[in-house]
Structure 1
Amino acid sequence: MFGDDIPSALLDEVLNVSQKQPPAPIAMDHVQNEANIMIGHLPQQQQQQQQQQLQQKQHDASSINKENFNYDDDDDMFGDDIPIEDLEEQLGMGRDISVPSGSGLPTINREGLDATLETKFETSDSCSNIKDTATGQRNNSRSRYQRFIIVATRLKGYMVDDSQRLERELLLVGEEHEQVTKAYLRQDWLHIRVAEGDAINIVFTNRNGHTKNNWIIDNEQNYLIHHPDHLISCTAVAESFFCLRKSVLQMTSKSISEVSEPLIHGAIIHETLQYCLKQKDFTTTAIQNAMKTIIKSTLDPLYVIGQDETTTYELLTPHITSIQTFGSIYVRQYPIPAATIKRDIGPSDTECSSLAIRDILDIEEHIWSPIYGLKGMIDATVEMILAPNNKVLTLPFELKTGRASRLISHRAQTILYTLLLGDRYDFDVNVGVLYYSKTNSLYMVPASQSEIRSLIIARNELSAAYQRQATALPPMIKNFHSCQYCTMNDACTLYHKTVESGSAMTSGLGQWFNDHTDHINDKAAIFYRQWIQLISLEEQDLDYLRKDIWNDSAKERELSDVSRT
């Protein structure tokens, strides 16, 4: 549906699977050794014939007129599929392949396909020493990860202490189509739903991991990023633990929720504290002037809730003291004993008794990370000094104006920001800072490997759900208490009634669901279904164009003559 998978019948045609005819000899120049090995097992006379055929196939493959191919662009909206001619070369089928027109694709020969893939998994070992062109030659950051396209996948067993475990073996081709290798998904990674044609990143926990040709991805080492070209918001990933459907809707629909006093006042306090951090000025006069200026720029939503600027300032005056207290305790050149850290599970490798924010490097730093498939806006990037070891760290600073009622999602968001910051500045960030202004509580949030693994798996699940959102959304959680206060409940209930043909009973929300959807008639439902599908197709085109920003080199973008500003 989204162009990420190679249709089984088309893959059958490409592989030319047949029970009666084995795969043709490999016809790629850079796997010539493998072809020689295969031919070497034949009698001498047949070897000469095979060598002649091999040379002829190489000549034919190089002279293929690509304009004769009639591929449907809609089958590859994201550009993640392997072009047929490149897949043909990688699999060793140097022959002209015609794609059947219409929908009458040939019936797949499952037994022959499995046999061919089995052969490919076995023979790929001889291709694993092909020159690696994606290990940092173009960019130093490539030493931390590699990008691949999945050619084939299968389940198999492996032994651990005399017991057999299950793993998923992936046959991969490098982004330059010059490297064939394998990866093995084990333990928590086994359940990720990957398919042929999907793009993935393998991020190495060991900086020397890129020097290998086969990788194990398990609970102890390495990460797999599925569909890395979809940059998922860190906030959406953190919220997906509570409701995956809400996170998908946030990526596709604009939230139209009623403004409230806590929401508006929290935003004013948030901006005021950020301004004081940036100016490093926490005097009473500076805080008052900043708050008054921000209130004047927020008059529209204030008038909606029936407040003028004078009333709002009077209500927010008590927060001036807490902001000033934060600045006097934590924003200093050196830590003081009062600058303590609140504990939940506590920092692991950065034990300290107190800290100080010595410098503010950036405010509202917006970072895209194609390595992890994430994006986010960090409230502040700060330089901290810890006591008593005087260790200096550059950390993400996440500011929350409410209480620590959603500490789990806030922690998850802060941990993901450590990945963004590490990618942005190319060094390891192992801890983040989470501050609650209402209680003046500051937490150090360690980015442990187990939590990063869980968050990346959640990110992969959200990305896969986004891939399917044109045809189906994740199910409703059917929790009346959570749903009635959800900011996406209008979009959620509308979709459930018009697209999923839902009712009060299937939604689990009873009469509340009817009260919010009774105005939708059949004509409106048809209109909504039509346009939501068209918008989904348009989003796919935008994603296809956006990913070229980081996948294409500067020279390639210049030659393409496409402006991206």
Structure 2
Amino acid sequence: MESRKRQLSDVASEDFETKRLKVDVKENVNEYSNDSFDDFCSTILKNSPGKRKPIYPLFLSVRQYRFSEDIPRQRSQKIHLEDVDDDDDSFDTPATSSKVLPTPKKSTIKDSGVAGFPCLFDDDNVVYLTVTKVDKREEGCIDLECVDKQRKTRVIYLQDQWAELDVEVGNAINLIAPQVWGNDDYIVNNQKGIVILNPNALVSCTAVASATFCARKTILNEKFKFGNASNKAMLLGNIVHEIFQTAITNKKRPLVDSDLLKIWTTQAPKYAEDLVALSFTPTCLDAELQPYFSVICNWINKHYPTSTGLFTKREPLPSKSQLLEVHDIEENIWDSKLGLKGKVDVTMRTKSKKGMESLELKTGKSSQSSEHAGQVLLYCMMQSSRYEQPIGPGNILYLKDGISRCVNPRAPELSGILQQRNMLSVSFEDPTTNKLPAPRQDSRFCGKCDHKVMCSFYQKNEEKFVKSNDSLKDFAEREMAHLEQSHMDYASNWIRWISAEWKCERERVQVQNKDLWLKSIEERVEEKTCISDLHSISEEISNSQRVIITFSRKSTVTDSPFRPGDVCLLSNKKNVAIAFTVIDFVSDDVIKISSDKTVKCRYDAPFHLDKYTSMSTHSTTLGNLVYFLQNDEIGMRLRNVLVDLLPPAIVDINGANISAAVKKIIIKAKLNNEQRRAVVHALATEDYMIVEGLPGSGKTTLISVLIQCLVATNKKVLLTAFTHSAVDNILGKLTKEVSNEKILRLGSSSTIKDDVRTLTLKSKLEGETSEDYYVAVRRVMKTTVVGLASFPFGIQLFQPIVACTCHHVPRELLFSYRHFDVVIIDEASMVLEPLLLPVLATSKKFVLVGDCQQLTPLVVSRKAKQEGASISTMEKLQKNHPTAVVSLTSQYRMNRELSALSSKLFYENRLICGNEAVSRSSLDRSGSYAVPIDLDGNFCFDHIRKALSGDIADSCVFLDTQSPINHSMQCENGESCGMNNDGEAKIISELCQRFIESGVKPNEIGVMSAYRKQVDHIRNVVKNEDLEVNNGKSIIYTRTLFFQVNTIDSYQGREKRVIIWSLTWTDNSDKKSELLRDERRINVALTRARQKLVVVGCKKSAESIPVLYRFSQLLTNHLTVPH
């Protein structure tokens, strides 16, 4: 870099001509000068990193330098060149030089609409660069060495406010209309050019605007998602917004209050849960909404009297434009040029040269808020970029008092708000960073801040108050006074570990949202993350007010990358991320999606769908730590249990008072002695207890009986588990004994099993679609809770049993006001401890059920795992308080041969068969299993017959593929992660066919692998080799409809009559076999089969892994695949 920099001290001695140009102030002011936010400029500039003052009137110094091509790129002082004569070459060649520098190609200058600010829709003005070197100079400037898309090196000189950017090597930057310096370099300063740092990190307009008040709060809000509570202002704001947006698109004019009331009536069902949480009655809410109705009607009737007829007289908007039509509602804009994203409340097509204008709705009273104005300015810029129009004004309407104002864009404010966005982008680009902006140096505002706990924690424990003044330090000390150092160390460790996990996922995820603009459609289609060439056939409104859009595709998609329930982004050639959608149906030539908006009339075909990657789980998990840090009863209880490890109160099981109703339930369930002891202990405990349930020991049955007993004693129960299948399996048993009216299943219907879907709130209210929804809910309540009909939305409030996954609890509004007598957590050994914090916060008593010898919490970061992140709450408490543990060792799943393997390898021979029938179970003894005599196929008859043997002695067989000499059986490494083994996949396909021919039903066969890529490969092999299977019954089985092929981890808690396990990995691979070295994962694999387990893999490779070597030594049935 130094060898190529231009030495300006040498240049100074050469001839140059300086011109002083005085620029009239009026030329720098946009034509819309009657801005109601005239004081906004000083606010933005004061809070922007540059803290610069308005730059007009200006004196621009224009110097015509002469350079030799040999002069290096170096400067000894700040460059005072503010502009270059547009009528001349950028640089003239001195007379002494025989070389002539090429003149940069000029592009037609397009009008930005704002004097002193560049055009945002001229792509020729934008340069995308990656920083390779950063040189921060003493005079307050920054020199950046970068490479462009063609890998050509360029030097960027940042001056004035742009020199305050926190740029690092590896950052991406967009330069918009920079000053060309020579042929390869650029200058950006207050007068020329804009820098967008980390443009691929799209920062929301709301976040940028809110950072005007406190940037630290903005970042904390993104990184720590905490709180599932609603509030009155938020609820009213959402409802009023939607009423306005629906009303303005309604054709009826003039609008009156009763019209808005009808709109609200149709929208009321979706707000039922919020109304429950806030104890709002319909009458009360109608009264709250009434003042807004007149404002909405007056504004729409005045500015948009009809949705048709361009010559109808209408009053101009605050921007002086005339509203022609509403183009979109909640328009979703992702702008990678500016690094911004946002949703515009109302996008209006206006009668002006600016074209589209935004209308931002605010529920409160009118104010001179710089946050509100800043948000609108960002929308103005994004609309200019999307619609290729000059930057025009924006509009704000305050719905409380009906005041509407215009926000006129001016260059200083626009640059200032973009610089504010740049400052935030550092954290948005890498949310795992532990660096936060300095807090607002005024503690008066901290007391009511939603993030005061985490902010104070960072100030004291992470930053040691280096960013805080004395008042902030005093405030933070008071907020953290209740915590011991061990408590803060606990939170600090988990922040570090979760951030490490977040970083690992960002690095390994194959589908990234930035691919939408960094990769072509063709590339994404090739990578199977996108489906293109979609044309809308029809749009219809569903009962839930979602838009169902059906697309056709001219060329069929035989292997669609999407499945029902997948979240996708809908785009067209011109606009990225028009809408978030959910896949409802997929076939070879038709795709049906649900969306919150119509697209057919607003956007041009063809469309394409891209997979959407969300990493919000990590920010929610981090936010859960607030439960632990808070100074309240819940926080104290969590600290006592998880850090101080206080023991639970001792329980005297023998002296427990068991009611007759409970005894009746236990007797009816025919529990064994261990299960009875566990139920009684759980009923008697005052704090918590642990049920260690070995594989097949009846944990699901136990939990079902325990819930029945708790409900019989008038207790409210929360049932959670790590997976949906575990929750639904328990509910499947429970519904046979407990009325459905007493159970509420929370979560998305697409993730819930069909047989328990009737337990969801949606199902309970199905058919209640009339406008009198409140009355319909009251009617449901009368049959559900006697004597509480006056409370209209009591369905959730009074269900004694609520069930969902652990992940759902921090997102569910119900848990902001519901508390339970007991919470039961199944699969507790699999749950990351921070995920349990909001679950444990719902009750003073909890029961953990699981098996610490099976899967632990999934932790990808090796460092985090080594430091203890994978130790579950159950494992920690079980180790420290063994008296709180009841073990279930009698299993009712595997026969004696299969049970013995796991018992010897992992349980010190504690795992035993529960009865003789289970012990002797085998394929042969079922009476319907018989291996055909005349087997044909690709394998030697003797070996394949042995693998299919139904004899109990052959319950577990190892089919050795001999990969060292049979190269077709060697694994193949993927380009990024994972591996597959085509030879094993074909063997498994053959085995499945033969098992079916022998009498095993397809849905009784399970296929597993530790590797996701092998699972996908086996599915494809089975799909491509569908064969007719005729076992004398003339039945054709399509295996893709019946076989369950999944990862070992997904099989936790499940069982099949026959399990076929693909080891996949062979020692020719340059990748380590980390997944197969996890003994707990191997335990899961060995304990899923009831009667037959076939392991397919290379014996030599497997025996290089200690746990598989021990397993191999226990087996006597080793078969080999001929080569």
TM range (shorter): 0.5 to 0.7
Q: Taking CA–CA contacts closer than 8 Å with sequence separation of 6 or more, which of the two structures ends up with the larger relative contact order?
A: 1
Give SS of 1:403's match.
coil
Structure 2 match to 1:415: 377
Match of 1:383 among 349, 359, 362: 349
Q: Is this contact kept in 2: 1:364–1:379, CA < 8 A?
A: yes
Structure 1 residues 380-432: Cα deviation after superposition (integer angstroms, max 9, x where no partner): 1111236xxxx673112111111233621100000001122222223333211
Corresponding letter in the other structure for 2:326: I
Question: Which whole-Å CA distance do the structure 1 matches of 2:160 and 2:298 have between them?
Answer: 47
For 1:135-155, what per-residue CA distance to the aligned partner results, in whole angstroms no more than 9, with x for missing partners?
Answer: 9xxxx9642412001233446
Matched, 1:368 2:346: no
CA positional deviation for 1:500? 3.9
Residue by residue over 1:124-178, the C-alpha shift from the partner in whole angstroms, topping out at 9 and shown as x without a partner, is x99997999xx9xxxx964241200123344679xxxxxxx8643333311231x
* Deviation, structure 1 residue 502: 6.3
Determine the structure 2 residue equivalent to 1:526. Answer: 489
Are 2:186 and 1:219 aligned?
Answer: no
Corresponding position: 1:147 with 2:120:
no
Change (3 A) 1:437 1:559: same
263-272 or 509-518, which deviates more: 509-518
Deviations 1:9-41 (A, max 9, x none): xxxxxx9x9xxxxx9xx9xxxxxxxxxxxxxxx
Choose the corresponding residue for 1:266, options 228, 237, 251: 237
| Alpha-carbon separation, structure 1, partners of 2:101 and 2:250 | 55
After superposition, what is the alpha-carbon deviation per residue over 1:182-240, rounded to whole angstroms, capped at 9, x for unaligned? 3332222222232333211011289xx89974333222222101111111111111111
Q: Aligned pair in 2 of structure 1 residues 205, 169: CA closer, same or farther (>3 Å)?
A: closer
Q: Whole-Å Cα distance in 1 between the matches of residues 436 and 169 of structure 2?
A: 22
Bigger Cα displacement from structure 2, 271-280 vs 329-338 = 329-338
Quote the residue 1:493 is aligned against: 456
- AA aligned opposite 1:476: P
Q: Tell me the distance in 1 between the aligned counterparts of 2:409 and 2:169.
A: 32
Q: Does 1:460 align with 2:422?
A: yes
1:383 aligned partner, one-letter code? R
Structure 2: distance between partners of 1:511 and 1:190 = 34
Contact 1:357 1:382 in 2 (8 A): yes
SS in 2 for 1:279: coil
Q: Secondary structure at the match of 1:404?
A: coil
**Displacement after TM superposition at 1:250 (Å):** 1.8
1:437 to 2:418 alignment: no
Q: Deviations over 1:298-318 (max 9, x none)?
A: 232233333211111122212
- Contact 1:202/1:222 (<8 A) preserved: yes
Please give the alpha-carbon distance, in whole angstroms, between the structure 2 residues aligned to 1:127 and 1:403. 64
Structure 2 residue 113 is the aligned partner of structure 1 residue 176: no
Give deviations 1:469-496, integer Å, cap 9, x for gaps: 6232122225333222223334323444
Distance 1:470 1:171, change over 3 A: closer
**CA deviation after TM superposition for structure 1 residue 258, in Å:** 5.0
Whole-angstrom distance in 1 between the partners of 2:398 and 2:446: 26
Q: Give the 3-state SS of the residue equivalent to 1:405 in structure 2.
A: coil
Partner residue of 1:228 out of 183, 199, 222:
199
Name which of 543, 546, 553 aligns with 2:513: 546
The Cα shift of 1:457 comes to 0.8
| Contact 2:104/2:183, CA 8 A, preserved across alignment | no
Question: For 2:351, what is the secondary structure of its paired residue?
Answer: strand
The question of whether the paired residues in 2 share the 8 Å contact of 1:230 and 1:543 is answered with: no
**Residue 293 (structure 2) aligned to one of 307, 320, 327:** 320
The separation in 2 between residues aligned to 1:196 and 1:382, in whole angstroms, is 41
**8 Å contact kept, 1:150–1:171:** yes
Give secondary structure in 2 for the equivalent of 1:228: coil
In structure 1, how many angstroms separate the alpha carbons of the residues matched to 2:421 and 2:195?
A: 11
In the alignment, the residues of structure 2 paired with residue 517 and residue 275 of structure 1 have an alpha-carbon distance, to the nearest angstrom, of: 47
Matched residue type, 1:265 = L
Instruction: Measure how far apart 1:278 and its partner are.
Output: 2.4
- The letter of the residue matching 1:471 is N
Deviates more, 1:525-534 or 1:399-408: 525-534
- Distance (whole Å) between structure 1 residues aligned to residue 479 and residue 136 of structure 2: 46
Measured at CA, do residues 340 and 546 of structure 1 come closer, stay the same or move farther in structure 2, by a change above 3 Å?
A: closer
For 1:415 and 1:443, the matched residues in 2 are separated by: 13
Counting aligned pairs with the same residue, the percent is 23
Alpha-carbon distance, 1:367 to partner: 1.2
- 1:39 is aligned to none
- Say which of 342, 357, 363 aligns to 2:323: 357
CA distance in 2, matches of 1:181, 1:270: 48
Unaligned runs of 5+ in 2: 5-70, 76-90, 92-98, 109-120, 530-560, 562-609, 612-1123
Give 3-state SS (helix, strand or coil) of 1:170's partner.
strand
Task: Look up the SS of the partner of 2:406 in the other structure.
Answer: strand
Letter in structure 2 aligned against 1:269: V
Matches within 5 A, 1:255-294: 255-256=226-227, 258-281=229-252, 282-294=255-267
- 1:54 aligns with none
Select which of 443, 449, 459 maps to 1:480. 443
Q: Tell me the distance in 1 between the aligned counterparts of 2:226 and 2:368.
A: 20
Partner of 1:57: none
Is the CA contact (8 Å cut-off) linking 1:295 and 1:312 kept in structure 2? no
> 1:189 — aligned with what?
162
Residues 505-548 of structure 1: CA deviation (Å, up to 9, x unaligned): 97836886567545544444333223322333444456663323
Letter in 2 for 1:152: K
The answer to whether the 8 A contact 1:185-1:217 is kept is: yes
The 1:429/1:409 distance shift into structure 2, 3 A limit, reads: same
| Whole-angstrom distance in 1 between the partners of 2:474 and 2:163 | 41
SS of 1:486's equivalent in the other structure is coil
The residue type equivalent to 2:148 in the other structure is G
Partner in structure 1 of residue 367 of structure 2: 405
Task: Pick the structure with more helix per residue.
Answer: 1
**Residues 392 and 167 (structure 1), Cα distance of their counterparts in 2 relative to 1, 3 Å cut:** closer
Change (3 A) 1:302 1:128: farther
The 3-state SS of whatever aligns with 1:435 is strand
Q: 1:395 to 1:537 in 2, by over 3 A?
A: farther
Return the alpha-carbon distance in structure 1 between the equivalents of residues 375 and 247 of structure 2: 23
CA contact 2:460–2:477 (8 Å) conserved in 1? no
Q: Is the 8 A contact 1:299 1:308 kept in 2?
A: no
Pick aligned residue for 1:245 from 200, 213, 216: 216
CA contact (8 A) 1:358 1:382 kept: yes
Give the whole-Å Cα distance in 1 for the aligned partners of 2:477 and 2:438.
Answer: 18
CA distance in 2, matches of 1:145, 1:198: 16
What SS does structure 1 have at the residue aligned with 2:295? helix
Does the 8 Å CA contact 1:246/1:488 hold for their aligned counterparts? yes
- Map of 1:310 onto structure 2: 283
